[in-house]
Structure formats: structure tokens, C-alpha cells
Chains A and B, each alone.
Chain A
Amino acid sequence: MKKPMKKPSKSPAFLPVLTAASCTALLAVPAAHAADKLKVGMLSTLSGAGAGLGVDIRDGFALAVKHNGGKLGGLPVETVVADDQQNPEVAKQSAERLLKRDKVDVMTGIVFSNVMLAVGPGVFAAQVPYVSANAGPSQYAGEQCNPYFFNVAWQNDNLHEAIGKTVMDKGFKKVVVLAPNYPAGKDAVAGFKRYYKGAVADEIYTKLGQLDYAAELAQARAAKPDAMYIFLPGGMGINFIKQFVGAGLSKDITLFGPGFSADEDVIKAVGEPMLGMFNSSHWAHDLDNPANKRFVADFVKEYGRLPSLYASQGYDAAQLIGAAVRDVKGKVEDRPALLKALKAAKFDSVRGPFRFNHNQYPIQDYYLRVITKDAQGRVTNRTLGRIFEQHADAYAPQCKMK
């Protein structure tokens, strides 16, 4: 174990030298760096059980760049892709490399909130804007809100608040909730309970990344609920739903989940057993607006699969960055102007109307979807209606930013 440890410990010693060298280079030719290209650091989860999520963000982002002719806001784009392996420590090292060696102008891509919270401080200290295409931890929405952090997806609680309201409105009385034991899992349950006021028969927390749910399913069966709410991103949700159906629980218990537990990646893996599952989302592939129609059609053409909400978030992240770069006329090194342009969010989101709250998290609509068969016999989501209109997150009042 000793040898590999030595290498990373060497590089920090060189870093001051490197940064000093690059600083003088910058001083010598201040204008040359400005407008030749835009470097985007795409740090995402591309391996392990959460990989499907990161891949969709990456592909959605790439499609937006392609739609703009390889440019964003008029600047040619170079996307530096790195895998965080869903591991905060790995992510911190990769982020360091993106910031110091590749000198990216803007960063995006992180899926998991625990990874985001580990990477955030370094990115903010380097004064590089971070446009989150998924992770929306409550910390960065409330007291620790930061002028360099923009969330173009949703605050972690939002989809869960929407489902909480739905479960309440549909008259379910006894619910079991299940979430992994990590920051976003806690946010999810808090959000659900903010709008669901009935009885919670059991609150089960599992290890993040757990794949076998036999013990938890037995526990849920013993609690005899009429509905069950799960927050299990990626492969965790895929396995859970398969095992939920396999254990025969789907007959007596209605399953609810946030949009990403019932999106294309999960549907592809689970298939027909998912029919009838209700879920909440800020986006759906059948939303009727021109930007969305083009996005969905071209995504299917390019990648041969329907996009998930992660893909839509990756696409919107690129469109937001593009709009901001366009509005500062390519002068991305003018940070105050760039931040202002990002906050203005003058782009056509595939979800329809979109704007930032003062904490730089979205104010947007949330929809109820159900998994059905579409006209072509594909198992997919259908939008049933709005749950929330122009909904903001609950943490914004604690954010001191204007």
C-alpha cells in the first residue's frame, strides 16, 4: 500500500511552482487566453452502479454542444471528461486536476450530493463557476449558498416534496420510506415528509450502493403499508424494483418514487413490472415545447434510446452555459459578468419556463408521471399533470445571497 501513496503526496509540492509559472504566463499575455475556446470540466459518475446517470448527463451535454455546431455561446468547446467513480476522494483529486492542470473555465456533471459537497469548496476557491446538472444538496441551497454554484436541475428535496403531496392527495394513510444513508437520502425523506402528513410506518435507511434488498423488503412487508416511497438512484433502484416485484409486494403496496427512479435507465433494466408506478419530475420526454421536441428526437437519433431526466439536465446545463458565454461575448475570464449572465438564465429550457431563485436554484413546475405503454408499445412515462407550479426550495430563505 505504501508505494501508490507516495505519488500523490509528491504532486502538491510541485503545484505551487506550476501555478506560479502559469500565473506569469497569464500576466504576460492577458488577452490571448480569453476567446479562443471554452474549456468545460465534466466530472461525473461514469463507472459503477451509478454510471448510467453520469453517462446520460455527459451525452445530453454533448448533444447540446453538437446542436450549437461544436460551440457554446460562440466559443469552440473542449470538454474534459473525468470519472469520479462515485467516490468523494477520487472526485476531489480529479477536480483538482481539472482546475489546476486543465484550467477549465466552468465545471459540471456531478451526480451525487456527497461527491458535490466534497468537490465544492475547491471549485469555489478557484473561482470557477459550477453548473450542477444534478446534485442539489440542501447545504448549497441554504446557508452555504455560493455565487459560483448554480443548480440547473432541482434541489434534492423538490421531487420528493412533489411525491409527498401526491401520496397525500391520493389518500394513502400508511407509508414506508426507504433511502440510502447519505446527504441526499436525508434530504429526500425530509422533503417527502414536508408534504406528506400521514403515518410513516417505517423509515428504512440502507448503505449507499447496496444492491440486495431482501432484508429491507421483509421489513417492509412486516410493516404492512398501503404505499411505499423509495429514493434509490441508479442501479440501486433497478435492483430494488425488481426484487420488490419478485417478493410479491407489488400486489398490495403502491410504489412511488422520484422521477429518476422511474426513468428510462431503470425502465430499460426492469421493463413491464414497472407499469403503473407513479413518479414526479420537473421534465418529461412528452412535454410540449419546441426545444424539448428537438432534444428528444435528436437524442433518440444520436444514441438510440429515449433520454432520461439526467440527459435533459445535462442538455440544459450546456444551454445555460452557452447562453451566459454568449451574453458576456466570450469573455469568460470576466467572472462577475459571467456569474451575472449565468444567473439571468436566458435560454430555452427543455422543461419549459425556468428561472433561478436568489440562491441560484430553480423555480419551476413539477409534474406527475405514470409508467404506461405508449402508442408504439414501448414502456415509458406519460405526464398526468402538474403537481406544483413555480415551486422553489425550502432552504432559499436561509441563503444570504441577493
Chain B
Amino acid sequence: MDAILIAEQALNGLQFGLMLFLLAAGLTLVFGIMDLINLAHGSLYMVGAYLAAAAIAAGASFLVAVLAAIAGTALLGMALEVTLLRRLYQRDHLSQVLATFALILMLNEGVRMIWGEQPLMLNTPASLSGPVELLPGLMYPAYRLLIIGVGLAVAVALYLLVTRTRWGMWVRAGASNRAMTTAMGVPADRLFTAVFGVGAALCALAGSLLGPLLAVQVGMGESILILAFVVIVIGGIGSIRGALVGSLLVGLVDTGSRTLLPAALRQVASPELASTLGPSIAAILIYVLMAAVLFWKPRGLFPARG
């Protein structure tokens, strides 16, 4: 187990964690401020990826495609908030789950009708398709470095937005006590729509950046949504800082356990057994982490509500 392997795996974990953060940030704000469980959050991620793929197919450059996906998905998110989700804030969580689950089905079917059953395969932009030598012997794909860079930049920008601006103050106030915030004259309607738009834009950013690494396909949002929920539970609902720490924890634990565990198990068992046990234990480890956090900190690592 040499240092280069560990460094490379750490970068992989960071890259995965930051992408999870883009999803978890929007989810945690919506959940924390509007008290809305939005299962369709993952579908916005899917829509973002499809919009980027469509823009590239129409001849746009990668950058333009990502921007178009962000704009399109943010508009869709805000439209959904104004027309549908706004009516759900006063309802109980079960109605919210039912309504947003229906939204998943409709968006999946809609995407299927427009783009078909087959997954779309995106290529990384040619200028980023090669590796970069970070340290002697440590090669890392340029595209994944870009993802890490964008993820970090968004994290910083969000932090500044939430801690340094008036809107950010409203958001924090809304997360800690919603009723009092509206009573103090914060324009709740506009704030909620804006938060939802930002959440959708972050989804689209994650979807369009991950498109070339994964496949753009129907249902891609559901699998990642579960991890995003784990992240916000670990981090504390409503907290951006918690979402960041939770994402990085989950990313590092997932990547680390996927390679380090089989390697360790191989010392004591056959490769087949090690590779069967390894991923299953790795998958459980994330939930063990969540359970441990909840045991000692039932409100997550950084609870937003006092």
C-alpha cells in the first residue's frame, strides 16, 4: 500500500464527496428552511445531465452546455416550486413524499419520451481528456481535477453567500426558526423560490459534470439521492457546513473502503470472496458511519436549529 495509491484514492474520495456536496447542499437547504422532503431532488440532477447532453449534441461547447443546463434546471426548479411544491409546505411529510415521488415518475417518463431509453454517453472535453502529473509518479485525470476545483469553488461561494449576504442571513434565520423569520418580515415567498432555484442549479452542475464520467440515463438520480440524504442526516439538516463535512466523509469512506477493504480481505480470503465481501461491507460502512453519528449527535454534526 504505497503513498501514491493512498494519495490518488484520497483525491478520488474528494472528487466524489464534492459532487455529493452539490446535491446535498440544495437538499439540506430545502429540507431545513422549507421543511420539505423533496424526493425529486435527484430528478433535477438527471434533468441537468440531460440538458447538458442535449446542448452538446446540438453543437455547444462543454462550458456552454454546463451553463445552459444550470440555467434550464434552475428555471424548471423555480417553476416547480411556484406551481406545485409551494402548496406542500403546510402539509405533513407523507404528502410531500407522495407528491415528490410522483414528480420522480413524471420526470423519468418525460425524459424517456424526449431522449429515449438508451443512455447517452458524453465525452470529456478533448483538452481535459488526458492525465496531469501532480507529483512525480502521481498522475491524475485532468477532468477529475476540474471537478474537484469546481466543487471547492462552489463550496466557498456558498459559504460566503450564506454567511456574508443578506439573503444568506435570511436563509440561516429561516433554517433555525421559520415562523419567526416570516413574522420579522422576510419575504418568504421570494426567498423559498430562490433557494429552490439555487438547489436545482447545483443539481444541474453535478449532473452535467458527472455526465462524462457516468452515463446520462433515466433513473440516475435515484441512486445518488439516497447518498445525499445520508449526507444531510450526518451533517445536520439545514447546515451547509454540515453538508460539506458529511459529503467529504461519505466520499472518502466509500472510495477508501472500496479498494482498501478488498485488499485487506485478500490477505485472509480468496479474491472472489474478498471482492464479494468488500463492496458489501463498503456499502454498509456508510450507514454504520451514519448510525454512529446519530448515536452521539442525534441532530447531526452541525445542527442548524438550536
| Partner among B131, B217, B262 whose Cβ is within 8 Å of the Cβ of A48 | B217
Residues of A within 8 A of B118 (CB): 47, 51-52, 55
Residues of B within 8 A of A51 (CB): 117-119
For chain A, residues 325 to 370, give those with C-beta under 8 angstroms from any C-beta of chain B: none
Known: A49-B119, A219-B5. A205 touches B215 (CB 8 A): no
* A239 on the B face (CB < 8 A): yes
Is the C-beta of A245 less than 8 angstroms from some C-beta in chain B?
yes
Interface residues of B in 254-279 (CB under 8 A from A): 255, 258-259, 262-263, 271-272, 275-276, 279
B143 within 8 A of A: yes
The answer to whether A238 and B141 have CB atoms under 8 Å apart is no
B123 contacts which of A83, A222, A242 (Cβ < 8 Å)?
A: A242
Q: Residues of B contacting A238 with CB < 8 Å?
A: 121, 215
Within 8 A of B (CB), among A193-241: 203-207, 211-212, 214-216, 218-219, 221-222, 235, 238-239
Chain A interface bracket (under 10, 10 to 19, 20 to 34, 35 or more): 35 or more
Chain B contacts of A290 at CB under 8 A?
none
Question: Is A68's beta carbon under 8 Å from chain B?
Answer: no
B218 at the interface (CB under 8 A from A): yes
- Of chain B, the residue at the smallest CB distance from A246 is B141
Q: Does B15 contact A (CB under 8 A)?
A: yes
A212 to B143, CA, bound (A): 13
Q: Which B residues lie at the A interface, using CB under 8 A?
A: 2, 4-5, 8-9, 12, 15-16, 117-119, 121, 123-124, 129-131, 139-144, 212-215, 217-219, 255, 258-259, 262-263, 271-272, 275-276, 279
Residues of B contacting A215 in the complex (Cβ-Cβ under 8 angstroms): 9, 12, 255, 258-259
| Contact residues of A between 39 and 78, Cβ < 8 Å to B | 46-49, 51-52, 55
Please, how many angstroms separate the alpha-carbon atoms of A52 and B120 in the complex? 11
**Closest chain A residue to B279 by CB distance?**
A207
A297: min CB distance to chain B, Å = 25
CB neighbours (8 Å) of B142 from chain A are 246
Are the CB atoms of B9 and A47 closer together than 8 Å? no
Q: Does A243 contact B (CB under 8 A)?
A: yes
B213 & A218 in contact (Cβ 8 Å cutoff): no
A205 vs B261: C-alpha distance in the bound complex, in angstroms? 13
A181 in the interface (beta carbon within 8 A):
yes
Q: Provide the residues of chain B in CB contact with A23, threshold 8 Å.
A: none
Contact B2 A205 (CB under 8 A): no
